[in-house]
Structure 1
Amino acid sequence: MKEVREKLKCQCGQVSFSVSGKPIISAECLCSDCQIAGAEIQKRAGAPLILDRNGATRFVLFRKDKVEFLSGQEKLKSYYINDDLSTRRIIASCCNTPVFLEFTKGHWLSMYGNLWSKDEIPPLEIRTMTRSRPKGVVLPNDVPNPKTHNFSFYIKLLSAWAAMRFSAPELDFIAGKIDD
């Protein structure tokens, strides 16, 4: 995958950030948590559609140190489908644009695909967690469709972490939940 340097923003433009370098991977997730969260988030006033016709959520994964927040950080709020989970979805509260999913102890951010235009988003490389796809959904064979994650997926995450000297920066500037 080629290196990128792109400035992205929420729908209304109040939250902006840049991503740089090669994405770790460009993926669709069909896990039940992403389906639940996607359905809830896209119900919010003005929110874009997150789930595609197969129930998948599109993500482009970047190392945390390759994402720079430029404006509107105070508008970023957390959304948890369950307070006991270690994943949070970050939403721009100004316009309900989903920005990224974070495994809070992780070294990467799963940036929501809706931040890119269809012509500019990095090409899809894999669909993950296909065992959780909705009943009756038949996925195309254009990319790997493992039931969970494949070995290559984990190698890419591990390689990115090694390149960061096994650090996992915290995003401590995100204050509060979306419905607080």
Structure 2
Amino acid sequence: MDIGCECEETRLQVTGPPIIVTECMCDSCRAAAARLAKLPGANNMLTAHCATPSALYRKDRVRIISGAGHLGEFRLTADAGTRRVIATCCNTPIFMEMKGAHWLDLYLHLWPETLRPRAVVRTMVGDLPDPSVLPVDMPNLKAQSMAFYAKLLWAWIAMGFQSPKIAAAERINV
């Protein structure tokens, strides 16, 4: 499946099913989303419950097919290990990547709405002041579960313990 940014200059191809589809409620994801929404022409990627929805894909199942030169990275702090990668052509957030990770959190707004994967769990609701306000339409986990980590481990094993690198052309400051 081909997915991409708002203006369609930056396109990715994903192969196979995601490892898992989540809505992250951590302070870091919510803060990054709020800052990225301030970029010119950017849209807010948070759900109505202020979650960051994403599909976790093995890096070897994601290929940038156009617009690689438009990729810019944003970090909450200069020394943060986690980066968010944005298509600078239209300031669309593309994915989140943790340092050394073998997967990418691809943001769900990249898919056409009718083909968008559905989140199956909310994670990190322990970061919220009052998680009881969340709907019970899916599990609301205080942190990531052992099953979550097991899925990531199996994906890494299937990749032969590799962690491909993805370059970004520039740094974004917001």
One-letter identity of the residue aligned with 1:30: M
Picking from 124, 144, 147, the partner of 1:152 is 147
Q: Which aligned pairs between 1:95-114 and structure 2 lie closer than 5 A?
A: 95-114=90-109
Q: TM-score, normalised by structure 2?
A: 0.94
Partners of 2:9 and 2:89 lie apart in 1 by 7
Q: Residue 160 of structure 1 aligns to a residue in which SS? A: helix
Partners of 2:86 and 2:132 lie apart in 1 by 28
Q: Which runs of 5+ in 2 are unaligned?
A: none
Q: Which runs of 5+ in 1 are unaligned?
A: 1-5
Find the counterpart in structure 2 of residue 123 from structure 1. 118
Q: TM-score, normalised by structure 1?
A: 0.91
* Cα distance change of structure 1 residues 137 and 44 upon mapping to structure 2, 3 Å threshold: farther
The answer to whether the Cα contact below 8 Å between 1:55 and 1:134 also exists between their aligned partners in 2 is: no
Find the counterpart in structure 2 of residue 62 from structure 1. 57
User: What CA deviation, in whole Å up to 9, does each residue of 1:92-142 have, x standing for no partner?
Assistant: 011000000011200000001111133211121110000112547611122
Is 1:8 matched up with 2:3? yes
Aligned-residue Cα RMSD (Å) equals: 1.5
* Cα distance change of structure 1 residues 37 and 134 upon mapping to structure 2, 3 Å threshold: farther
Find the counterpart in structure 2 of residue 3 from structure 1. none
Cα distance, 1:54 vs. partner? 1.3
Partners of 1:143 and 1:149 lie apart in 2 by 14
Partners of 1:129 and 1:99 lie apart in 2 by 21
Q: Which aligned pairs between 1:1-180 and structure 2 lie closer than 5 A?
A: 6-133=1-128, 135=130, 138-171=133-166, 173-179=167-173
Cα distance, 1:179 vs. partner? 4.0
One-letter identity of the residue aligned with 1:127: R
The answer to whether the Cα contact below 8 Å between 1:27 and 1:126 also exists between their aligned partners in 2 is: yes
Q: Residue 169 of structure 1 aligns to a residue in which SS? A: coil
